[in-house]
Amino acid sequence: MPHQYHKDPEAVAGLSPAQYRVTQESATEPAFRNEFWDKKEPGLYVDVVSGEPLFASVDKYDSGSGWPSFTVPVERGNVVENTDASHGMVRTEVRSKHGDSHLGHVFDDGPAAAGGLRYCINSAALRFVPLDDLEREGYGEFRKLFDDADEGVRR
């Protein structure tokens, strides 16, 4: 039976002030001064509020922006896109579907060979699950992404 992800009030209550501002108030954390912008270890990034799987390290790249950048969500259905007309510009905001957390924005300046998208995500919206902990934390089904990446196979 698939896991049922949802916005967990206890998780929201336990957020740090920075996590709360980002996920619940759609703030942006500082570039180059966030937890995952330069993280290279293999693993899965999940919503800090709901636990829903969002991005995998195999799809992460250094965009030079100072925020974690990914070419594609690990489960497209877990990422919702909305028009964001704040700050005098029109951008595409990305939110988690089940946790309704503000994650960041998606831009069309990503690597062309990987589809051309750059999901620019706030570290404060994410929890990192190391590859060796996937099974223990209930994300074992995503292990295949890393095995396929080792073989040069893309999903």
Q: Read off the pLDDT of residues 27-64 as tens digits, 9 standing for 90 and up.
A: 999 999 999 999 999 999 999 999 999 999 999 999 99
The pLDDT, as a whole number, for residue 148 is 73
The pLDDT, as a whole number, for residue 153 is 44
Q: Does residue 4 lie within any of the structural domains?
A: no
| Confidence at 86, pLDDT banded by 50, 70, 90 | confident
Q: Which of 4, 21, 3 is nearest to 12 (CA)?
A: 21
Q: What is the 3-state secondary structure (H, E, C) of 22-88?
A: HHHHCCCCCCCCCCCCCCCCCEEEEECCCCCEEEEHHHEECCCCCCCEECCCCCHHHEEEEEECHHH
Q: Does residue 136 lie within any of the structural domains?
A: yes
Q: Which of 127, 134, 133, 146 is nearest to 45 (CA)?
A: 127
The pLDDT, as a whole number, for residue 2 is 59
Query: At 143, which helix (H) or strand (E)?
Result: helix 143-150
| Confidence at 81, pLDDT banded by 50, 70, 90 | very high
Please, what is the average pLDDT of the chain? 93
Give the active site residue among 54, 72, 79, 120. 120
**What does residue 130 show for φ and ψ, rounded to 5 degrees?**
-60, 150
Q: Does residue 39 lie within any of the structural domains?
A: yes
In terms of residue numbers, what domain contains 92?
A: 9-150
Q: Does residue 127 lie within any of the structural domains?
A: yes
Q: Does residue 146 lie within any of the structural domains?
A: yes
Number of domains in the chain: 1
The pLDDT, as a whole number, for residue 1 is 43
What CATH number does residue 94 fall under?
A: 2.170.150.20
Q: Does residue 1 lie within any of the structural domains?
A: no
What is the average pLDDT across 84-106?
Answer: 93
Q: Can 120 be counted among the known catalytic residues?
A: yes
| Confidence at 147, pLDDT banded by 50, 70, 90 | confident
